[in-house]
Structure 1
Amino acid sequence: MGSRAAEQRETARQSAARLEAEGVRNVALTWVDNAGITRVKSVPAQRLTDAAERGVGMSPVFDVFTSDDAITESAHLGGPDGDLRLFPDLDRLTTLAAQPGWAWAPADRYDQLGQPHPACQRLFARRMAERATAAGLDLRMGFETEWVVTRATEDPDVLDYPCLGPAYGMTRVVELSDYLRDVTEALTVQGVDVLQLHPEYAPGQFEVTTAPGDPVRAADDAVLVRETVRAVSARHGLRATFAPAVVAGEVGNGCHLHLSLHRDGTSLHRTPDAAWGLAPDAVAFLGGVLDALPALLAIGCPSPASYLRLLPSHWAGIYQCWGVENREAALRLITGAPDDPDGGHAEVKTFDAAANPYLAVGAVIAAGLHGIETAARLPDPQTGDPGVLGVRERARRGIVRLPATLTEAADRLEKSAPLHEALGEVLHGAVLAVRRAEEAHFADSAPEAIAAATRWRW
């Protein structure tokens, strides 16, 4: 134990010296709360060794913060008492390209005695990833992050878009070529592997897709991508929002989760002669995710604003079905190029960037592993848009609408024994407490008011 502590101390010392040589003066230590807000404590770079050894104090009450910074409470958390320690993950320590003089590291949370905090979302994601590894699975995950950018006007309710080009149009790239170049450069310098960057459907909307990695890294990257886009936007006199609904009734921002399964170096999406190319464990894993989607919505769509985005025929995946390359299915199987043995994977289309990415990856893993344990099956894949089918035809095909409100999704999460077990009593209770508080806060609000109130929270 002593040698490990000494090794950690030496790593921190070397990291602090590197930061000083790079002109870094402050290190942002972040965690993401149950409302999906990235919270932070920062330390001077020369104090990094102390932070790595003893942690940085913070209150456990942040686990019951809502998106508008109100504070609720659960059976285990709430009130002014208690303290935790934030410990930076030095393996992810990153000098920030768009914030001169700053570095970033995600933090894990422990109590004062050095025990893991039971509501730490990042530690939850790691536990679920370790469960997958123990089951012989190599899980790779990655996020597509969408955002809308506007000019930074004095009145944040005035949406002054800096580009006028059409959806997916090259015109938008021409109009904002310097900005998009700087986004790509900043992410690349920070070690984030960008796969794609392109305009999206809504006004001022763009999307960046990053390379898959292990689940915890994927969630870390999601945080780093958002804050990097935000920082680059600010340097260009722009303002970025990742909110699910920027304008009520229009296409919102998603944050789709991609995942692939491998065992012993072999893709489980490339099994010869198997239906859809899926090995039995891949079928069961994806079947478990599909079965759990109504409850998973309370994790991946955590705000009343999320349900303004979940509209039929908007490629948001509002029906509990799956399909091969079907962008209207909640669970989309992507076959990939025929000559790419690792090309196949799946996409959860319902999630948005109000979600805590650590909760998202951990809960999806838990649902998939439960699917393997129970030998879950996939029903027949769906083709076309379920939204254009009549009610009777959807019923005949067994296509069910996913929860249309946060209340309904939270009810499903509350009743989900597998997710309750995976999250644990403290984290499960905190998530539900925050969801119930968000429901109550916006219970009498019109869609336009919900969108306006949450537009700049993420």
Structure 2
Amino acid sequence: MGTRAAEQHEEARQSAARLEAEGVRNVALTWVDNAGVTRVKTIPAQRLAAAAERGVGMSPVFDVFTSDDAITESEHLGGPDGDLRLIPDLDRVTVLAAQPGWAWAPADRYDQLGRPHPACQRQFARRMVERAAAAGLELRMGFETEWVVTRAPDGTHPAATGPDETFDYPCAGPAYGMTRVVELSDYLRDVTEALAVQGLDVLQLHPEYAPGQFEVTTAAADPVRAADDVVLVRETVRAVSVRHGLRASFAPSFVAGQVGNGCHLHLGLYRDGSSLHRTPDASWGLAPDAVAFLGGVLNALPALLAIGCPSPASYLRLQPSHWAGVYQCWGVENREAALRLITGAPDDPDGGHAEVKTFDAAANPYLAVGAVLAAGLHGIETAAQLPAPHAGDPGTLGVRERARRGIVRLPATLTEAADRLEKSAPLYEAMGEVLHGAVLAVRRAEEAHFADCEPEEIAAATRWRW
């Protein structure tokens, strides 16, 4: 056994011993598939060291699972053959506050010979972080997590499913109202406490616009950790909800025609520890590399929608004048722009960053951070620029005025977004043929499955998948 292998073995052994001492009996190893569903294999805590060394077996077919658990295929993936190894990230092993006796760890995927699986989304995100570092850039990212909570069926009177499903919301207060916090103060306290115990820095939690809707924001981190964090946030909210007799949904469209759940991605750029959003005398405070990076993201948004808005349900949420960012434009503190520049207070060291408004929680967060990184780095390579920022709601402008200003609608269907992803050479190069092909195969299968469905049917079919 080499020195590094021996160190990893000892680290894994100590992690397993610590978990057992804390009463942990099982560890959930998670990965997120291309439909955005968090999948899992669990192991006894005493098996953690063995899993870290040799992995846990899983089929490559999960890369072509759709949101309804159907299986499609791509040129490289599909069918019953093959095996991969799930390797837990020991640095992220977390004792779960709302699931006594359980811990969690995100996993990377390798083949039987120890080579990185080319469709592993978490390793794709890590490669993009390394590519940014090679260019002298550091990225800090964070997600806003929105969800709708209802009372769970009590078992004696199970709720109907489908378009006629009705909901028993546990709060009746107005949007953003303190009344909702009073009505669910015990539940919201337990959510924030569980997140804090698990090492997540909660910045804010508040009621949102739709009935029963809330949002929690956690502190920014390096992109891979940010993706890990949002997975942990969702599953913690879900677990706390269950303990309170509630049910949480992160679906893009909980009820067709209402405001849906977003999962906005925030990002800040740094070089040598200094923010590139705080450059004196520069337009909007942006250093040239920040302008080029954000220009690359803005240019790539039509293709990025197939990553960050991966379900037909996503396009029920993407409606004009709903703060979802459906037009390909950017603005300074403009919540209707697809790309929002947040200036922050002048004396705020964490102020000054950007927000991608369009994304939702059906997205695989590792794909989301990796693809945004790839688009931004391509912007730097090609010296992309930002057009003039837009103020106000583009949806209130006439078609001719939007055309005059160069503001176009982002894809309004998953089919259109997938077509743009298929033609995106920068994203194809960054993701690689295997991952790019698997993502497209899942998108095409989702399109076909819901092609003849009404909005209410799409929302009902996907309501409890995320």
Question: Structure 1 vs Structure 2: percent identity of aligned residues?
Answer: 88
Instruction: Work out whether 1:129 is the aligned partner of 2:129.
Output: yes
Instruction: Work out whether 1:427 is the aligned partner of 2:439.
Output: no
Structure 1 SS opposite 2:143: strand
Instruction: Work out whether 1:112 is the aligned partner of 2:120.
Output: no
Shift of 1:341: 3.8
Shift of 1:143: 0.1
CA distances 1:352-372 after superposition (whole Å, capped 9, x unpaired): 000000000000000000000
Match of 2:11 in 1: 11
CA distances 1:372-403 after superposition (whole Å, capped 9, x unpaired): 00000000000000000000000000000000
Distance 1:415 1:187 in 2: 40
From 189, 197, 200, the counterpart of 2:197: 189
Instruction: Work out whether 1:179 is the aligned partner of 2:187.
Output: yes
Instruction: Work out whether 1:305 is the aligned partner of 2:278.
Output: no
Match of 1:444 in 2: 452
Shift of 1:340: 1.9
Shift of 1:342: 3.4
TM-score by length of 2: 0.98
Instruction: Work out whether 1:231 is the aligned partner of 2:239.
Output: yes
Shift of 1:159: 1.2
Distance 1:2 1:179 in 2: 49
Shift of 1:158: 2.3
CA distances 1:316-369 after superposition (whole Å, capped 9, x unpaired): 000000000000000000000111243100000000000000000000000000
Does the CA-based 8 Å contact 1:95-1:190 persist in structure 2?
yes
Unmatched segments (≥5 aa) in structure 2: none
Match of 1:365 in 2: 373
Instruction: Work out whether 1:412 is the aligned partner of 2:401.
Output: no
Distance 1:341 1:278 in 2: 15
What letter is aligned with 2:308?
A: G
Match of 2:141 in 1: 141
Match of 2:396 in 1: 388
> RMSD of aligned C-alpha atoms?
0.6
Instruction: Work out whether 1:161 is the aligned partner of 2:169.
Output: yes
Shift of 1:38: 0.1
Instruction: Work out whether 1:60 is the aligned partner of 2:68.
Output: no
Distance 1:48 1:265 in 2: 36
Match of 2:87 in 1: 87
CA distances 1:68-90 after superposition (whole Å, capped 9, x unpaired): 00000000000000000000000
Shift of 1:416: 0.1
Match of 1:198 in 2: 206
From 315, 337, 346, the counterpart of 2:354: 346
- Give every structure 1 segment of 4 or more consecutive aligned residues whose post-TM-superposition deviation is greater than 3 Å: none
Does the CA-based 8 Å contact 1:284-1:376 persist in structure 2?
yes
Distance 2:51 2:270 in 1: 36
Number of aligned residue pairs: 458
User: For residues 30-49 of structure 1, what are the structure 2 equivalents within 5 Å?
Assistant: 30-49=30-49
From 355, 366, 369, the counterpart of 2:363: 355
Structure 1 SS opposite 2:464: coil
User: For residues 311-350 of structure 1, what are the structure 2 equivalents within 5 Å?
Assistant: 311-350=319-358
Match of 2:29 in 1: 29
Distance 1:301 1:340 in 2: 31
Instruction: Work out whether 1:75 is the aligned partner of 2:75.
Output: yes
Unmatched segments (≥5 aa) in structure 1: none
Distance 1:143 1:440 in 2: 30
Instruction: Work out whether 1:249 is the aligned partner of 2:257.
Output: yes
Does the CA-based 8 Å contact 1:96-1:103 persist in structure 2?
yes
